Structure 1
């Protein structure tokens, strides 16, 4: 089973990159957006259509006193070609709009990739944390059980009271609950890991530090995020698309000029003519004068959507700025918490040993020993949580500056290049099969 193997963080992220359904879904959405470009480019291409008509008709004709009647089998065929010469630059602006949407969808895909990989880091560290906390709670339970046995032994020889035994029993019961809670937390963390990574967690390792990838000052983190974060880039491309959409709407007020050619052939249309054929080439000019006001409403709507898109850029920038400040502070706090927790663990370890020795010679109570054991477990748990928080905060800052992607992390996986599918379909004139593009 895959879950039985050891898994480094990079290996887990590689599996998430290749198999995560959310990421694969967004890749499919990006490929669908690619198709808007050939749809727009179709406005530069001619259209060709063929029509055929047939039937049966009974007719009667009278001319110069001569009456004629009979059955006709009228049938006709026509081939029509049309080409738009000018449509108010609608096609050009639709193409630019579609290309901006494609660029935006690529940034949305990058943002989804960063979110999935960050979720993978969080899930990975949550499992490591849950395993460590469960181990600490098991050790704490074993220590409390040992204290309970020692307290009962001393109670049997009259050195302590029943109250001391009850206090030890209470701590054992609480430790048993903490173990049960830690088991439940580990089960939940493993389930989330399976959801994000795609396999059950095996033996996990403490990951390498990624803090070297983070700029040394907060201002540089903020500037990098505002410049390179995919959510900001996607919203900027949305503004470009909205600008061209306004021009598309304005094209509805401009004339339309098209060239049309037709070949036709008809048979048995009447009793006098057996066949009739022809060819025609026409120029068609259409000038909109008034269409009920819909074109003006479309322009106003497009301008409001452009305003909304510009505001979304500011919203995303404010979000990135706030996240940069938040997780910079979280990283610094985690570093300080690790130092404090390490000092606390060392002090509480020494204190527990001393309290136990003093308890054996009657200078400390059972409560003192139980409290010292609890303090040590709490400080060890704080250290585990702080170490997890430091890793997650560091990877979040890497995500904020837009570098939490497979190439930047050096993941050993086949990188998905959205440009491959785009190049395959951009100039496609026909065909219903979807190219691979993966």
Structure 2
């Protein structure tokens, strides 16, 4: 009986131990599963947070580096494809000049002749190799006019390269001025929010003491929210202008510009009689005139004869060719060749007439280009003078509004003779005055950029002369 009781105790103990062990194992497995799920969720959270940080770094964070306007322009002209296109066209034109000058040198060639010939009622098949040479002696200016024509086209391509460089530099400088405009406006918006927040905190203190009504607190808070909304709009415009500048510069990094402008920009519209001889638009027109003049000379030269010295050596390959007994296997000849067109359906006279019309058109184009650059410069100069005069007036207006704002603040907080609305309106008017000054200043800088472009001074102002731009050295 005791034995049976002991066996039951052992069995119950064993069963209890197994149940407890299974429960512990299930708890451990559940804990492990929960830990694994938590780890996976934690990893996913870290990935999401990392992506969010990267997104914020690329979108929301301010740029860490700051460059100047000159550096931005130099970076833009160093890669822009429109400049690469004109440089490629220039290289092509320069090779065409080499091809035209080749007309002064001897021409060597070889012919393989095969055919059937008859001589003294006898005929036969003939094959021969001919080596020939030809040297121009006199052509009444055909080759020289071809060289002049190719040279004029190459110079027009050079002017086109300068024009593309100036255009990219102008567009980049304009985009940079717009970035500076909205950077300044963003700073002004932040200053307005700070000023309104200071007023709101003082109004809240007065309200807590019973000196101001709840409506004053709400009114101040409304102005702060409006200022914050304005700041977001300004920030959106700033990001838009930055994207335009980044596109011109060929970079994906966010760009912040220093707020200064190069010295030559500020004095660009002050010259009374600038030298327009280096304006690319005028250089293109002058090169087109030189091209038309070369076409006139070429059309006249083609009506005259051409004298050349020709020589040839024939090596006959068939031993029984025609009269083999009387012909040598090698035959050579040297002779003067005078060739002249007599009738070609009126093509030569039509070419002369069309080239004369082209010359008249090119001459008028030079005058039109000169008038255009002078007009654009004078228009920008006159408008810039008006903005310079208005800046002093706007500065005086801002000082007056600032004094009135300070007076209203004292009268509201200390004397109680002014309402909060008067103070808030004065603060808003001061903000508008600052924005108007900033816009006027940056409009002036844009006009000064236009003056530089119209006078052909973009390369000098932005230190591009004497520099390698996409493998091409830009000379003054």
Question: TM (normalized to structure 1)?
Answer: 0.78
User: How far apart in 2 are the matches of 1:118 and 1:393?
Assistant: 11
1:336-379 Cα offsets, whole Å, 9 max, x none, are 23222322222222222222333335433343233212211111
Matches within 5 A, 1:30-179: 30-52=90-112, 75-144=127-196, 159-160=212-213, 171-172=223-224, 174-179=226-231
Does 1 or 2 have the higher relative contact order (CA < 8 Å, sep 6+)? 1
Residue of 387, 392, 402 corresponding to 1:349: 402
Cross-structure match for 1:383: 437
1:28 to 57, 65, 88: 88
Secondary structure of 1:405 counterpart = helix
Distance change >3 Å, CA 111–CA 173, structure 1 → 2: same
What corresponds to 2:309 in structure 1? 259
- Alpha-carbon distance between aligned partners in 2 of 1:383 and 1:170, rounded to the nearest angstrom: 26
* In structure 1, distance between residues paired with 2:399 and 2:113: 95
2:379 corresponds to? 326
Question: 1:134-167 deviations in whole A, cap 9, x for unaligned?
Answer: 22223334545665676678789694475x6776
Change (3 A) 1:22 1:89: same
Matches within 5 A, 1:225-264: 225=276, 227-264=277-314
CA distance in 2 between partners of 1:269 and 1:289 (Å): 41
> How big is each residue's C-alpha offset from its partner over 1:173-196, in whole Å with a ceiling of 9 and x where there is no partner?
543442232122111211222223
Which of these residues, 71, 74, 81, is aligned with residue 11 of structure 1? 71
Maintained 8 Å contact 1:324/1:397? yes
In structure 2, runs of 5+ residues without a counterpart are 1-57
**Which residue among 264, 272, 281 is the counterpart of 1:210?**
264
Check the 8 A contact 2:289/2:363 in 1, yes or no: yes
Say which SS state the counterpart of residue 134 (structure 2) adopts: strand
State the 1:246 CA deviation: 0.9
Gap change, CA 1:215 and 1:286, over 3 Å in 2: same
Contact 2:285/2:366, CA 8 A, preserved across alignment: yes
1:414 aligned residue: 467
Shift of 1:170: 5.7
State the Cα distance separating 1:133 from its structure 2 match.
0.9
Bigger mean CA offset, 265-274 vs 292-301: 265-274
How far, CA to CA, are the matches of 1:420 and 1:172 in structure 2?
A: 54
- 1:67 is aligned to none
Q: CA RMSD in A?
A: 3.6
TM-superposed CA distance for 1:418, in Å, is 9.2
User: Over alpha carbons, which structure has the higher Rg?
Assistant: 2
Deviation at 1:309, TM superposition (A): 0.9
Relative distance call for 1:143 and 1:205 in structure 2 (3 A) is closer
- Residue in 1 that maps onto 2:423: 369
How far does residue 254 in structure 1 lie from its aligned partner after superposition? 1.6
Output the CA distance in 1 between the equivalents of 2:358 and 2:471: 27
What is the CA-CA distance between 1:90 and the residue it aligns to?
1.4
Q: 1:35 aligns to what SS in structure 2? A: helix
Distance 1:255 1:151 in 2: 100
Checking the alignment, whether the CA contact within 8 Å between 2:193 and 2:224 is kept in structure 1 is: yes
Distance in 1 of aligned mates of 2:374 and 2:87? 27
Evaluate the alpha carbon distance shift between residue 203 and residue 419 of structure 1 in structure 2; reply closer, same or farther with a 3 A threshold. closer
1:394 aligns with 2:444: no
Distance 1:412 1:405 in 2: 6
8 Å Cα contact 2:292/2:355 also seen in 1: yes
3-state DSSP of counterpart to 1:288: coil
Residue 217 to residue 208, structure 1, CA distance change in 2 (3 Å):
closer
Verify the 8 A CA contact 2:467 2:473 in the aligned structure 1: no
What is aligned with 2:459? Answer: 405
The C-alpha deviation readout for 1:362-413, integer Å capped at 9, x for no partner, is 433343233212211111112222222333333432333322215x654597
- Supply the distance in 1 between the matched residues of 2:266 and 2:319 (Cα, whole angstroms): 85
Cα distance between partner residues in 1 of 2:87 and 2:453:
19
| Conserved 8 A contact 1:213-1:398 | no
Distance 1:91 1:394, change over 3 A: same
Q: Which runs of 5+ in 1 are unaligned?
A: 58-62, 64-71, 422-438
Separation in structure 2 between the aligned mates of residue 103 and residue 280 of structure 1, nearest angstrom: 43
SS in 2 for 1:283: strand
Q: Assess, with a 3 A threshold, how the Cα gap between structure 1 residues 369 and 321 changes in structure 2: closer, same or farther.
A: same
- C-alpha contact 2:266 2:448 (8 A) present in aligned 1: no
Structure 1 contact 14–413 (Cα < 8 Å) conserved: no
Distance 2:126 2:353 in 1: 51
SS at match of 2:302: helix
